[in-house]
Amino acid sequence: MQLSLDQDVRYLKGVGPKMAKELNSLGVETVQDLLDYFPFRIEDFSQIKRIRDLNPGDEVTISGKVVSLSTMPGRRGPVLRAGVSDGSGICYLVWYNTPYMAKTIRRGMQIIASGKVEWRRQSWEMPHPLLQQSGENNGKGPILAVYHSKAGLSSSVISRIICDNLDPYLNLVEELLPPDIISRHGLMGQREAYENIHRPSSSAKWETARRTFAFREVFLQQMALLMMKKENEAIGPVPAFTRFSLPQVFVESLPFELTRAQAKTIEDIRQDLSSPRLMNRLIQGDVGSGKTVVAIWALLAAVNNGYQGALLAPTEILARQHYETLQELSGEYAKVGFLSGSLAASEKGEVLDRVAAGSIDILIGTHAMLEPYVKWSNLGLIVTDEQHRFGVKQRLNLSYGMQMPHVLVMSATPIPRSLALTIYGDLDISVIDELPHGSSKVQTKVLDYSDRKDAYAVLREEVQKGHQAYVVCPQISEGKSGRKSAEYVFEELSQGYLRGIEIGLAHGGMPKDLLAQQMQDFSQGLTKVLVATTVIEVGIDVPNATCMVIEGAESFGLATLHQLRGRIGRGGQQAFCFVIPSSEGTSSMARLKTFETVFDGFELAEIDLLQRGPGQFFGVRQHGMGNVNVQDLGITVDVIVKAREEARRVIEIIEEGKPSFEYGALVNEVRRRFGDLAQHARSR
């Protein structure tokens, strides 16, 4: 088989169909995905420590000669003890129920052992250490890459698969960054960086490789955004909207007054639509700030001027909620339709015919609207909700083959103002930074782990009053981290605190149909409590939900916690949010306490930026990032600023047509991730 970075991982050494399925669940499907599955930290055992200098609990490497070897019976099988001496003391290497190790260890052998040491039975012990013969490593211990893992696929297995397959595929990796950029910022070339992030020879080289990939990810994203911005600017004059009487009548019919921030955003949109250039605008605003009303105003402006409008949502539940809202608020002003993959063929066919004929003014739907069989009569405006759930390529597909429509993007994900222009570099930005009059704050309380039962007592009371509640967990299944998992908490609550209450379970590891059904059951009130991961962060609006318990809260950024909190209290009732760490004495308590008193999403995002860095904000915007977990790359503001400036410089060089470096691989990678933007522009 010819080697390729696009090759399916199941054909790699040490993988096969079963292991490939486990890798696929982590987003690793190709060799390129595997190379880009970066470790989030390393364990550096390279420095040898003298046995006399050991301390209980140390994770260390020792080197010495095996001076004793014994096997004794244990409760779970034989226990092998090998005494290792370095002249300063003896440490016993211990293996429980692993009889094959007795054939590996010999008295007199010079070895290196790495692991955690404990003082037990009046001697030093290191259970189940990592072993190496000193001659293979020049007297140094290993540096181990640590990967996000799951049940059935440990970090060590992932590391073995990557290391076993690294050499033959590294030669296929093309250099993306020009030599002057690599030199100017002290980076590594691509091949060297892959080698040192997965098989580091030193901690310093691992950090340099990590910084190289952090720079690469931001640089590629900025290249794509700048290319899009230039293409949008290059599009010739478009017909200006001249009529706004219909959206004005809509505003006057509302049973409430717009906030000043909503009115300012509407004026921004009016000016965009009245000009001869395409609108590409982002509306940022907290959950409940009234973005949807502003979007309806824009959609009705399109209808008023003879165009169709499209509202694209990331989930069917959210799309249906938007459909119901538009029917209620604007049904008398426009003909509203709905399209999703779950519609029966006959229903779907009827909707498509009406869209093509122009008898549907505004179509609301999911990614099904991106399919090429959707033909528009005269599409003039696309509104996308929670833009970070859609890639650039998907957004372009919606307008493929027709005059480019105006674009309005809505996001409730609070991005720090200092990062917004970089992360949303292709869009103009409006911020709705105030909530409608009368909005009540969610009572928020950070509890010690020992007081966890108090949160569930309040939750039970709320359910008994006829309300609903969420329980949010940081992971799907139990792992070694000690954090609560959705599956564990679901079982625990069903048999304990919430016995007798209808409880649902929702997480991203479920089949899509089952996940959608669980969300739908909760939305319709068939289940009273929904235990979930962050799949509920967007895409579900249940006004009857008044209580939320967030387990393992230290795992989340403040901005994410704020997003989650925004799911409750949407019906006007007093709501309660309880934030619980995974254990007592967590170092995150001070950070979590901030969440009790700060209710502005943008302020919380700025605090997150200072405390946790900008990586998580790049992580939420899945803007062509592929399967790279950018949150694990330690992206800094400095990297963002420098990468954006270099992207600007490269775009200018390419436009001048006098590059000193072959940019083919770089442009191809941008196109692979973001779609062929230039080709798309030419096709219009």
Band (459; pLDDT cuts 50, 70, 90): very high
Locus of tokens 């939750």: 459
Give me the pLDDT at residue 246, please. 95
Q: DSSP class of residue 621? A: -
Give me the phi and psi of 414, to 5 degrees please: -70, 115
Give me the pLDDT at residue 625, please. 45
Q: Which residue has the higher pLDDT, 364 or 668?
A: 364
Whether 30 and 51 map to the same domain: the answer is: no
3-state secondary structure of 77: strand
Whether 27 and 92 map to the same domain: the answer is: no
> Tens digit of pLDDT for each residue in 542-599?
889 999 999 999 888 888 898 899 889 888 789 999 999 987 656 678 889 999 988 8
> What string of H, E and C letters represents the secondary structure of 34-63?
HHCCCCCEEEECCCECCHHHCCCCCEEEEE
Whether 61 and 133 map to the same domain: the answer is: yes
Give me the phi and psi of 351, to 5 degrees please: -65, -45
Beta strands in 512-634 (DSSP E): 529-532, 545-550, 576-579
3-state secondary structure of 510: coil
Give me the pLDDT at residue 201, please. 87
- Alpha-carbon span 62 to 613, nearest angstrom: 36
Whether 459 and 427 map to the same domain: the answer is: no
> What string of H, E and C letters represents the secondary structure of 358-378?
CCCCEEEECHHHHCCCCCCCC
Whether 287 and 385 map to the same domain: the answer is: yes
Whether 89 and 192 map to the same domain: the answer is: no
- For range 455-462, the mean pLDDT: 95
- For range 649-663, the mean pLDDT: 79
pTM tops 0.85, yes or no: no
Length of the chain, in residues: 684
Give me the pLDDT at residue 682, please. 32
- Alpha-carbon span 413 to 386, nearest angstrom: 8
Band (399; pLDDT cuts 50, 70, 90): very low
Q: Which residue has the higher pLDDT, 335 or 678?
A: 335
DSSP percent split of the chain into helix, strand, coil, nearest 5: 45, 20, 35
Give me the pLDDT at residue 415, please. 75
> Tens digit of pLDDT for each residue in 365-390?
987 787 778 889 999 999 988 654 44
> Tens digit of pLDDT for each residue in 8-51?
999 999 898 999 998 988 889 999 999 999 998 888 878 888 99
**For all residues of the chain together, what is the average pLDDT?**
84
In a domain, 519, yes or no: yes
- For range 170-199, the mean pLDDT: 93
Give me the pLDDT at residue 83, please. 95
Q: Which residue has the higher pLDDT, 520 or 654?
A: 520
In a domain, 648, yes or no: no
Number of domains comprising the chain: 4
Specify the range with the lowest mean pLDDT, choosing from 51-65, 121-135, 392-406.
392-406
- Alpha-carbon span 143 to 202, nearest angstrom: 7
State the Cα angle at 540 between 536 and 546, rounded to 5°. 85
In a domain, 421, yes or no: yes
- For range 323-338, the mean pLDDT: 89
In a domain, 652, yes or no: no
Give me the pLDDT at residue 563, please. 85
Examine the pLDDT at 334 and tell me if it is beyond 50.
Answer: yes
The enclosing domain of 137 has a CATH number of: 2.40.50.140
Which of 110, 141, 172 is the last residue in one of the domains? 141
Give me the pLDDT at residue 310, please. 93
> Tens digit of pLDDT for each residue in 411-427?
877 777 667 666 666 67
Which of 432, 455, 473 is the last residue in one of the domains? 432
What single letter denotes the amino acid at residue 60?
V
- For range 194-220, the mean pLDDT: 92
Band (216; pLDDT cuts 50, 70, 90): very high
Q: Which residue has the higher pLDDT, 505 or 652?
A: 505
Whether 338 and 190 map to the same domain: the answer is: no
Give me the pLDDT at residue 388, please. 46
Give me the pLDDT at residue 660, please. 65
Name the percent of the chain lying above pLDDT 70. 87
Give me the pLDDT at residue 421, please. 64
Give me the pLDDT at residue 75, please. 77
Q: Which residue has the higher pLDDT, 42 or 612?
A: 42
Band (307; pLDDT cuts 50, 70, 90): very high
Band (76; pLDDT cuts 50, 70, 90): confident
Give me the pLDDT at residue 679, please. 42
Specify the range with the lowest mean pLDDT, choosing from 271-285, 360-374, 648-662.
648-662
Q: Which residue has the higher pLDDT, 675 or 152?
A: 152
Give me the pLDDT at residue 670, please. 84
The C-alpha R_g of the chain, in whole angstroms, comes to 28
Q: Which residue has the higher pLDDT, 333 or 615?
A: 333
Whether 183 and 118 map to the same domain: the answer is: no
Whether 190 and 249 map to the same domain: the answer is: no
Whether 458 and 417 map to the same domain: the answer is: no
Which of 131, 161, 196 is the last residue in one of the domains? 196
> Tens digit of pLDDT for each residue in 506-532?
998 888 889 889 998 999 999 999 999
In a domain, 168, yes or no: yes
Burial class (CB in 10 A: 0-12, 13-18, 19+), 498: buried
In a domain, 631, yes or no: no
Whether 420 and 451 map to the same domain: the answer is: no
The enclosing domain of 350 has a CATH number of: 3.40.50.300
Give me the pLDDT at residue 614, please. 64
Give me the pLDDT at residue 47, please. 82
Q: Which residue has the higher pLDDT, 676 or 330?
A: 330
In a domain, 632, yes or no: no
- Alpha-carbon span 62 to 50, nearest angstrom: 7
Within 13 Å of residue 241, how many CA atoms lie on the same side as its CB? 28
Give me the pLDDT at residue 622, please. 41
In a domain, 173, yes or no: yes
| Cα–chain center distance at 499 | 33
Name the percent of the chain lying above pLDDT 90. 41
Give me the pLDDT at residue 636, please. 77
Examine the pLDDT at 305 and tell me if it is beyond 60.
Answer: yes
Give me the pLDDT at residue 555, please. 87
Examine the pLDDT at 99 and tell me if it is beyond 80.
Answer: no
Band (681; pLDDT cuts 50, 70, 90): very low
Structural element, H or E, at residue 431: strand 428-432
- For range 600-619, the mean pLDDT: 72
Give me the pLDDT at residue 659, please. 67
Structure tokens at 533: 């991961």
Whether 456 and 514 map to the same domain: the answer is: yes
Range of the domain at 168: 9-43+150-196
Q: Which residue has the higher pLDDT, 342 or 182?
A: 182
Give me the pLDDT at residue 539, please. 61
Residue of 398, 464, 380, 445 whose CA lies nearest to 596: 445
